[in-house]
């Protein structure tokens, strides 16, 4: 699948409002991507499931930002 396909599939996950995908490295068999996901009450397992179904592997979650409305 293309990164456009990945973005469209991820946008189907409840709570996701915005996706940004950057290609960091291209190898013979793999792409290394940075995916930034924005939204509210995002279910990590749903995101992981979509990526697994598309043949992608999550190597790390490098940043999480959370806030609470007062």
Q: State pLDDT tens for residues 13-46.
A: 999 999 999 999 999 989 999 999 999 999 999 9
pLDDT beyond 90 at 57:
yes
Q: Which of 15, 57, 70 is nearest to 38 (CA)?
A: 15
Chain centroid, CA 28 distance in Å = 22
Q: pTM of whole model > 0.85?
A: yes
d(CA 18, CA 39): 7
Q: What percent of the chain has pLDDT over 70?
A: 100
Distance between CA 46 and CA 7 in Å, rounded?
14
In whole angstroms, what is the distance from residue 10 CA to residue 5 CA? 9
Extents of the domains making up the chain? 3-40
């Amino acid at each position: 699948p293309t990164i456009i396909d990945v973005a469209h599939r991820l946008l189907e996950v409840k709570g996701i409002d915005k996706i940004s995908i950057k290609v960091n490295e291209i190898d013979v068999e793999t792409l290394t991507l940075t995916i930034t996901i924005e939204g509210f009450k995002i279910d990590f397992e749903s995101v992981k499931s979509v990526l697994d179904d598309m043949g992608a592997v999550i190597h790390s979650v490098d940043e999480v930002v959370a806030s609470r409305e007062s």
